[in-house]
Structure 1
Amino acid sequence: MPRRTATMLASTLLLIAMLCAGLLIKVPYAEMSPGPTVNTLGEHDGDPVLNIKEHRTYETSGHLNMTTVRVTGADYRMNLLEAVGGWLQHDSAVVPHSTLYPENKSAKEVDQQNAEEFSASQESAKVSALRELGIRVPTHIIVGSVVKGGASEGKLHAGDLIRTVDGKAVKDPKGVADIVTKHKPGEKVRFTIIPAADVKAAQKAGKKPSTRDARQVVVGTKKAGDDGRAIVGIQPAAGHTFPFDIDIKLADVGGPSAGLMFSLGIVDKLTREDLTGGSFIAGTGTIDDKGKVGAIGGIQMKTVAARAKGAKYFLTPSANCPAAAKDKPAGLTLVKTGTMHDAMNALKKIRDDDTAALPRCKAS
């Protein structure tokens, strides 16, 4: 066999071997890519994303799109070729598998956490929207979650409203912990609660939970594994009483990053003035009860998804601005947003065609 032919054959076989190895070798990475983007002012799968009952709403136009990131599944293991391909694409990110799916949590636990964060973000979106409009939203303390196998399991439930602990009224989640930890492990704590079902029924009716539904629950304490303090196995949290029903319906989405866009969508529907002026605006960001916008993950995938859908403006959390500006899609204006007020001011500038005054993201 001629030397040239032998060299070509050897090279071809080596290439085939490398390709086979690339397909067979699994690597501990996962991929993030642009996901769906949904207009919070419109419908998704035939249902309104925002459904407001027992309060006047107004017609809207334009878009206030929330954005998402698509990720590979918890059980999926990328091969070497897929990982290299992902690294070479500018609109995707290959990250360690443990970044998305911590080794100490099952896929079910990760999904549950994402669902809880999504639910909490909806709550904060409603609060910040109503407070932006000057509508009072009373706050109360609830059982945020119950630790599996803890002392409260089967006695207290997520969503229960906590009126008192050992007969003392509590004003914040820390107040619950302060009273419980005054006990010695093994002692009992007396909770006065309104069950979650009654709280939810009152919320649907636009009323405050009734004290007539209150009941006492006694829970024994256990010793914490880290410092030996007394615990009852719950995570207290802030809950709210809304003056009317606001339902956010969006399936197959998790995490807290849509909070800002939900909040703006609610304000738009409750406001006579059309907030977008017909413009296509997208964005992302967590939001808390006070209207502060927080950072999110996957910002570059979200800007790509928004621009591909047609967005011209993207409300960007201040902390995400440097990363977003490094690889900004052409034709998309990144608007630096730190609070709900910032977002509302930006929408006004867009409506007034004063876009030169918009606070824009800059690469650091």
Structure 2
Amino acid sequence: MSRRALTLLLAGFLVLALGIVGAFRPVPYVVLSPGPTENTIGEVDKKPVISIKGRETYPTTGSLSLVTVAYQGGPAAQIDLLTALRGWIDPTVAVVPQETIFAPDRDPREVEEENSVEMTNSQDSATAAALNELKIRYDLAVTVVSTEKGKPADGKLRKGDEINSVDGRPAKDVDVVGDTVKAHKPGQSVLFNVTRGKDKLDVTVPTVAGPEGQTQVGLLMQAKYKFPFDVDINVGDVGGPSAGLMFSLGILDKLTPGELTGGKQIAGTGTIEPSGKVGAIGGIAQKMVGAQDAGATVFLTPADNCAEAVKAAPSGLRLVRADTMHDAVLALDALRTGKGNVPACDAG
């Protein structure tokens, strides 16, 4: 073998070896793929997803399924380049920079705690939204779960503080408190009135700019509702707030005679406020694939996700726009009866 041929052969082996090594090197990306679905009017591990005690309930049929996104990667378990490349090729998954899911200045344990609290808040907000839709009264209190170390609220507000008002505005729910804080410019102060033990205190907290530019004080809150009957939601390890709309519809379906779905396989997503307003979520493309894989033919879509959803919707999945829970109920009534308007998503 000539020296030239040997050199080319060795160079080829070297390139191949480097390519193999490089393919298995960790990269700062996260792969998002369709996650499991759960029927909110069905069961998980032989237990009802939604259990209601102290109030009459009614039989249900069909499904009102929440959808999820599974992910690979993260600071503690980075994916390799080969996994990222496979994700880029697969149209049903998305590969995104790690920092879009895990903020670089956040402890993963704090993110996990926040997701857990968001899921609890989502379940409570869903119950409140369903009761509001049915005009059933309830009480609530907004409480402090934790403060973020190094942020202005740290050392000023304490775990267990019950927030009565913020800047004189009654703390009717978590969103009222959050929106009032965000309405300030970074550096301005917010006046909290809290109940701590037996005392009522005024606590002034300065604000700072958060990672995305929103004004914040570094406060994690939870609304403690006092409902006139017990609503228990069992979804295992699912976290985050995006199942709120489907929880609220599942609760309403169980509390009312008749069948909200008409026996159809319905799936959907969206955060929910106690007022019934539906909010946007992430991972809409993967959630639609998961919904169709689970047999859904109709997908309830937050209005702010419609434009993206239309571009990525699997063939045969009907997208129904849901601005509010009430709108979603009317749309399901129209689908069931064949009468009335069914608002569709458009490309915006």
Q: TM-score, normalised by structure 2?
A: 0.81
CA distance in 2, matches of 1:77, 1:236: 30
**Aligned twin of 2:272:** 287
Compute the displacement of 1:30 (Å). Answer: 0.7
**Aligned twin of 2:334:** 349
CA distance in 1, matches of 2:107, 2:256: 43
Contact 1:190–1:216 (CA under 8 A) maintained in structure 2:
no
* Residue segments in structure 1 that go unaligned for 5+ positions in a row: 179-188, 196-214
Compute the displacement of 1:94 (Å). Answer: 0.3
Matches for 1:90-239 after TM superposition, within 5 Å: 90-138=91-139, 140-147=140-147, 150-151=154-155, 156-158=158-160, 161-162=162-163, 170=170, 172=172, 192=195, 215-216=198-199, 224=206, 239=224
| 1:326 corresponds to 2:326 | no
Contact 2:268–2:299 (CA under 8 A) maintained in structure 1:
yes
Counterparts in 2 of 1:270 and 1:330: CA distance versus 1, 3 Å: same
**Aligned twin of 2:184:** none
**Aligned twin of 1:306:** 291
CA distance in 2, matches of 1:24, 1:121: 39
Counterparts in 2 of 1:20 and 1:350: CA distance versus 1, 3 Å: same
1:230-257 per-position Cα deviation (integer Å, ceiling 9, x unaligned): xx98666654321111111111111110
Amino acid at match of 2:42: G
CA distance in 2, matches of 1:58, 1:309: 24
Counterparts in 2 of 1:15 and 1:126: CA distance versus 1, 3 Å: same
Amino acid at match of 1:359: P
**Aligned twin of 2:87:** 86
| 1:359 corresponds to 2:335 | no
Compute the displacement of 1:345 (Å). Answer: 1.1
CA distance in 1, matches of 2:63, 2:21: 46
Aligned length: 324
* Residue segments in structure 2 that go unaligned for 5+ positions in a row: 182-191, 210-216
Counterparts in 2 of 1:222 and 1:164: CA distance versus 1, 3 Å: closer
Q: TM-score, normalised by structure 1?
A: 0.77
Amino acid at match of 1:123: D
Counterparts in 2 of 1:26 and 1:192: CA distance versus 1, 3 Å: closer
Compute the displacement of 1:170 (Å). Answer: 4.8
Select the structure of larger CA radius of gyration.
1
**Aligned twin of 1:17:** 17
Contact 1:143–1:234 (CA under 8 A) maintained in structure 2:
no
**Aligned twin of 2:226:** 241
**Aligned twin of 2:188:** none
Compute the displacement of 1:16 (Å). Answer: 2.9
**Aligned twin of 1:337:** 322
**Aligned twin of 1:202:** none
CA distance in 1, matches of 2:218, 2:343: 45
| 1:39 corresponds to 2:43 | no
SS in 2 for 1:81: helix
Counterparts in 2 of 1:171 and 1:269: CA distance versus 1, 3 Å: same
Bigger share in strand: 2
Counterparts in 2 of 1:246 and 1:84: CA distance versus 1, 3 Å: same
Counterparts in 2 of 1:102 and 1:259: CA distance versus 1, 3 Å: same
Pick the aligned partner of 1:315 from 277, 295, 300.
300
Identity of aligned residues (%): 43
CA distance in 2, matches of 1:260, 1:137: 19
SS in 2 for 1:247: strand
CA distance in 1, matches of 2:260, 2:121: 25
Compute the displacement of 1:76 (Å). Answer: 1.6
SS in 2 for 1:254: coil
CA distance in 2, matches of 1:237, 1:48: 24
Compute the displacement of 1:9 (Å). Answer: 5.5
